[in-house]
Amino acid sequence: MSAKKKKRILIIADHASNYIPGSLDNLGLNKNLFNTHIAYDLGVKELCIDLSKLLKSKYIIGEYSRLIVDLNRDLLDPTLIPEIVDRKIIPKNINLSENEKKIRITEVYNRYHNNIKRTIKSDHITILISLHSFNPIFKNKKRNIHFGILSNEDRRLSNCIITDMRRRGLKVGDNEPYEGNLIGDTMYKHGLKNNLHHTLIEVRNDLLSSTTNIHRVSKLLKKVVDNSINRI
């Protein structure tokens, strides 16, 4: 049996959905914003499902917009329920009552993270991969990377992925375009604390602009992940 087959992989996507329940009245925002990066990571749901098929792995996707509650934050993080995103105020996140916050945490946040906990335990998961996407333009400047590999102090899998991608001539950010070491975030909570090999892969979202492009990225990531797992 190969090294890869001995590993059990779980792929997760915290920000896969832009769903806002009707009861929240669009959070007081224009509906058009829900089709942008403000509300979710474009292309990531489809990428997560496609890659899981190629790797024959389990997957779990967030089912609500990050504007309701950010699944990739600690419960004590002040941005857990964001009041401002990309300089846009989220009206119905302002001055929430403790009961309103509790409902979102119980029904959305805890449900998602408890599902991850159960799956890691029941399926004896040894590899945890989180998928996100980022905008190609930030502050009117193009981000000159294809992928960003985010990591905390456990860089075992991330280092292998960065090395493999660079060997393929890809432009890869190391803890770019974001830092990957937030205390209490998803990788901290489920990867680092469980001593699992783990990494967070950010994909520039213009690379996920169609079903064909998504499958192309999936096939690439499948090769990269296989090679990287076999090296650790």
Predicted TM-score (pTM) of the model is: 0.95
Strand pairing of 88-89 and 172-174?
A: unpaired
Residues across the chain? 232
Q: Which domain holds residue 212?
A: 4-231
Residue pLDDT, tens place only, 139-192: 778 899 999 999 999 999 999 999 999 999 999 999 999 999 999 999 999 999
Tokens matching residue 104: 């979102």
Number of domains in the chain: 1
Strand pairing of 88-89 and 84-85?
A: antiparallel
Phi then psi for residue 168, to 5 deg, are -85, 0
Residue 105 exposed, middle or buried by CB count within 10 Å (0-12, 13-18, 19+): middle
pLDDT at 6: 66
Strand pairing of 137-138 and 141-142?
A: antiparallel
Helix or strand run (H / E) with residue 134: strand 127-134
| Percent of the chain whose predicted confidence (pLDDT) is above 70 | 97
Residue 48 exposed, middle or buried by CB count within 10 Å (0-12, 13-18, 19+): buried
Say if residues 127 and 9 touch (Cβ distance below 8 Å). Answer: yes
Find the CATH number of the domain harbouring 99.
3.40.630.40
Tokens matching residue 112: 């998602």
For residues 185 and 128, give the distance between their C-alpha atoms in angstroms, rounded to a whole number.
Answer: 13
Residue pLDDT, tens place only, 59-118: 999 999 999 999 999 999 999 999 999 889 999 999 999 999 999 999 999 999 999 999
Residue pLDDT, tens place only, 2-42: 444 468 999 999 999 999 999 999 999 999 999 999 999 99
pLDDT at 142: 87
